[in-house]
Every structure is written in structure tokens, then in C-alpha cells.
Amino acid sequence: MSRYTTARKHNNILWRRWFRMCQRCNNNEIYYTDVKVCDDWNIDISGEQGFLNFLDDMADDFDEQLTLDRIDPKGPYDAHNCRWVTTTVQNRNTRFHKYTERGKALTRMLEKWGHSKRTKQRFWQRTRRGWSYEDTINIEPNLSNRGIGKSTDKDIKHRRKMLKSKTIWQKIRSII
């Protein structure tokens, strides 16, 4: 049995990740048209030896829960630009998050207020309304941000109670 066959059988998950990486780049799949795989790893250039080279370079840190990530999202897949990271780290290491002002601001806000759907919604709502990125990140998310002015905890609790206690007809009547 050849070294390639043995390595492929013993490292099946790693082989699949290498093969998909080569397919994405060589077939110019969407978002991968300008991404290249180094000649040492490329299946079209090195053939089976490409996997053995990939195995030598990347197998030490491999874990099934981790994904292959390029350190520089604009760079190629090669030994000096790849690492194994969690999905969260990989999602933050995109071209949008690293190279655009809006992406950097969103990343800072998520780190400050937590990674939740609500935080992302708050970011997009605030920037759509014309808030600066600094205000969007630094102003604490609470009811006093709704244009009412600085509110005390007592005021906020009172407003919440009033909103809950009114029936739909009372709310309509107060608008008219």
C-alpha cells in the first residue's frame, strides 16, 4: 500500500478538508476566485504528494472541532498563512471584518457587548440611523437611548409597566 493510501485512510477527515480546499480554489467557486493553493499542496499540480505535504505541514495541530483558516484572508492557502481555529475565530477573520471600517466597528461592538443576534441588530439599526461608529459601540444599550433623554431606573420601570398594562384600544386612543 502506498504512503498516500495509508495516510488517507488514517486521516480521512483531514483528507476531506484538504480535498475540499483544493476543489474550492481550483474550480473557482464563489468567493474563491482569487484564492490560490500553494503548489506544494495543490492537487492539480502535486497530485497525491500534495496531501502528504499538507499532512506534514498541518497535521500536528489538527483537531476535528477546528477549521482551516487563512491568517491573511487575502493570502493563499500555504503553510505560513494557515492555522486551525474555532468557527468563531474564523468568522471574525473575514475580509469584511478585517479590512472595512464598518466591519472593524461591528467586531469591536460584539466584543464589548457580547456575540448575540440582538447586538448585531442594534449595530445595524444605529448605523442606519446615522450614528457614528464610536457612539454605536460606546453608548450603552438601554431604554434611555431611545431619544427620551437620561432616565432613572424608576422612570424605565414605570414606562415598562405602562406599556404592558395598556390594552390595544388604550394605545390606539392615546395616538389619536
pLDDT of residue 149: 53
Reference 120, options 102, 143, 147; nearest CA is 102
* pLDDT at residue 58 in the model: 93
The pLDDT of 140-165, averaged and rounded, is 63
Summary mean pLDDT of the chain = 83
Per-residue pLDDT at 146 exceeds 60: no
Give the global pTM: 0.62
Supply the pLDDT for residue 82: 94
Residue 106 or 78, more confident: 78
- Residue 171 CA to residue 121 CA, distance in Å, equals 26
* pLDDT confidence of residue 95: 72
Which ranges of the chain would DSSP assign to H, the alpha helix?
3-10, 12-26, 43-46, 48-58, 87-92, 95-99, 101-113, 117-128, 133-138, 153-165, 168-175
Residues 101-139 have pLDDT tens digits of 888 888 888 888 888 888 888 888 988 888 888 888 888
CA 24 to chain centre: 19
DSSP 59: G
- pLDDT, tens digit, 9 for 90 and up, residues 1-20: 788 888 888 999 999 999 99
